[in-house]
Chains A and B, each alone.
Chain A
Amino acid sequence: MSAALPEGPVKRIAIFGAGGGGTSAAAHLSTLGFEIRLYSQDQSALAPLQEIGGINYDAPFGKGFAPIPVITADAAEAMDGAELVMVVSPAHLHEKWIRAAAAHLTEEQTLFVSPGHTLMLIPHVLRDCGIENPVYCETATLPYLCRRTGPVDCRISRVSDFMVFGGFPGKETERLHGIVSSVYPAVAAFSNVLETVFPYGNAIHHPPAFLANAGRVEATGGDFRHYYDGITPSVGRLIDTVDAERLLVAKALGAKTMPFVELFWTMGYTTDAARDAGIAYEAFHQSEPDKWIPAPPQLEHRYFLEDVPFGHVIYSELGRLAGVPTPTIDHIIHLASVALGRDLRADALTLDRMGLGGVSKDAFLDLLENGFR
């Protein structure tokens, strides 16, 4: 760890979330010289880290111990003097973390959510907390392929070299990109937080692949390779159908996004030949990084529990807003709900939950670009 603080606009970073993503970010950014303050509400996750004053990491950039000067369950303490507040959590915890941060957030601080892809949820929650003109930014995906491997250990197998980045309001994206890119040079500025929703790949392929392998997951406890064995030609066709609907919704809203296979290739997950074939089956079958990933042991898993309510449901809701039918996506939401025995739309990211109930397409697009006025 270098003694001098980085040259850019960000010196001190508050990280919200002490799971795999949060601890990996803490370790990585600490080695780059940033001063890290790690926050979580989960005392059992914090205690072992507090005891040793940091986190052990095993990463492509080296192996070692990253000291973390502040590890706390007090949001005010974590955020004090930080230029960047970074939320790293599953989508269903966004609301909780944002509520914890809102009371202490200053106008000078940049709120950065990675991965975000919850569209207008965060601005809506911030407004509910009394911030009238909320500003924040996010990426579509986590900066790392990583896991928390023990109470004081994380393993990073890959640091992303391409992340779709957007700000809210959209007119602030460029300024916010200037700040965040000094920490993560891999962020690529897109127009707004609508364009970070569509490239969230897991939401495209996890629900259809999981549905089409539900029997095997339950019968074998997930004793097969999720991608390599589970995504067969027919399952790939179902994913392609979902992707085609997603692209039509994006197009109707004027959001630029890539076909899934192109995106997967851009992120370095598959071969040129698979990209040229242009179908999900080839993309997964030729994916070296994903080849050995096992299937989840049961259906009560984020492939359904996160990627349906915070993925498929958003596409469906945006389709409704844009007047674009999304029959395959809607049917998968329903069948996954029946398979699990509960309604996955009930706690999902609906337009109502984002404060967009009854908003027209034009008003929505204006809001994305210009914010609340």
Chain B
Amino acid sequence: MTVQTIAVLGAGHGGCAAAADLGARGYSVRLHARRDESLAPLREQGGIRAKGVQEGLFPIDLLTTDVAAAVDGADLVMLAVPSVAHRHYAEALAPILHPGIPVFVNPGHTGGGLHFVHELRRAGYADEIRTGETVTLTYICRKTGPAEVDIFSWTKKLKFSGFPGKYAGEMFALIKPLYPEIVPVSSVLETGLTNINAVFHVPGMVMNAGWIEDTGGDFLFYREGITPAVGRVTKAVDDERLAVATALGVPSASFLENFHQAGLTTRAAMESGDISRACVESEPNKAIKSPPSLDHRYMHEDVGYGLVPFAAFGDLAGVDTPTIDGLIHVASSMMGLDFARDGLTLERMGLAGIGAKDLARFVEQGA
């Protein structure tokens, strides 16, 4: 089977980039958003205007707020929404999906596919399901207006996995033509535990919370915000993450190795072992500003759908994660939220009652 028709769910940065890029490359795209206000500007303009790796106005075959209409006849569903919306989409898709329509969770962050499938089952879907996921979005992009998107590049050497693992090869073959940069890895545990955004975004936010709120984020997040102390906390988070991965037998590289491999810092900075230096000296990230407030995906997504599942995997593996737990707790207190309760717990990933020794089987078989 090859993919020709794609239902892209979500009309944010990722959804708009995918609709423009895939449309430009000859795929038939249906774009779904929950609110028609997100789609009306596209309808009026006759498509999405893109800059960057694709330039021009790209018409979209269907713009709809009806999930069933978007999915009907599609070869692939691409879920390009924030993690917090996965449950909503699982519930909407449960009555519509069938084994012939695989789902690509773009991105899955940590545990995205596990969570989506768990919610789908809870919503009554009982058939076979095939999902694939990348750890981050397949694009470096930004939506610059209601119907405009800048696509700076495709994300390079992007780790890809599938759940259940037994179909991962099939899913990889299906998605590879769409995104030639994807690289297959062992399982969703490996993509999930390689979520390095969660590793440094949260220390950067929590330890600069006062600065962010006082100035509306008027400083450079990497160059100024990741100081030696923030680097030390980031390193502790990274060490805990690696200890969890090791205990679960999941291959994983350090933050610095990932950061270097992604082309974000020099070999010398990586070899120094100094995360602060690697961030301060990151050439591609040097102009990136801080988020304007704590009410941002660096907290909502990277705590709730990053650190919380890291800690959950730590529980499952019997590995202590005191720094990760501390950041989850302090971030919750600052924001008046309860990330540990509302984020991706073992239960929400469908892993309640599954021991460390059964984890590999569950991830492979999906049951």
Contacts and interface: CB of A to CB of B under 8 A. Distances in A.
Interface stretch (A31-39, A216-224, A269-277): A216-224
A234 B291 CA distance: 15
A219 B224 contact: yes
Interface in A216-248: 216, 218-219, 224, 229-235, 237-238, 241
B334 A237 contact: yes
B66 interface: no
Interface string B37-58: 0000000000000000000000
Nearest to A332: B330
Given A219-B219, A219-B225, A328-B330, A232 B232 contact: no
A213 B209 contact: yes
A328 B229 contact: no
Given A209-B210, A212-B209, A241-B333, A335 B228 contact: no
A213 B233 CA distance: 14
B233 A232 contact: no
By secondary structure, the B interface counts as helix
A218 B229 contact: yes
Given A219-B219, A338-B323, A234 B209 contact: yes
A234 B211 contact: no
B204 interface: yes
Contacts of A335: 206, 233, 323, 326-327, 330
By secondary structure, the A interface counts as helix
B208 interface: yes
Contact of B335 (A215, A234, A328): A234
Contacts of B137: none
A373 interface: no
Given A216-B219, A331-B329, 13 more contacts: A209-B210, A212-B207, A212-B208, A212-B330, A214-B208, A215-B224, A215-B230, A218-B228, A229-B214, A232-B210, A235-B209, A237-B335, A340-B229
User: Which interface class (under 10, 10 to 19, 20 to 34, 35 or more) fits B?
Assistant: 20 to 34
A328 B214 contact: no
A334 interface: yes
A331 B331 CA distance: 11
A230 B214 contact: yes
Contacts of A215: 204, 207-208, 211, 224-227, 229-230
Contacts of A341: 232
A341 B211 CA distance: 22
A25 interface: no
Interface of A: 209, 211-216, 218-219, 224, 229-235, 237-238, 241, 299, 327-328, 331-332, 334-335, 338-341
Contact of B227 (A214, A338, A340): A214
A235 B224 CA distance: 20
B227 A218 contact: yes
Given A212-B334, A218-B228, A238-B334, A231 B210 contact: yes
Contacts of A328: 329-330, 333
A224 B232 CA distance: 23
B207 A232 contact: no
Interface in B20-66: none
B206 A232 contact: no
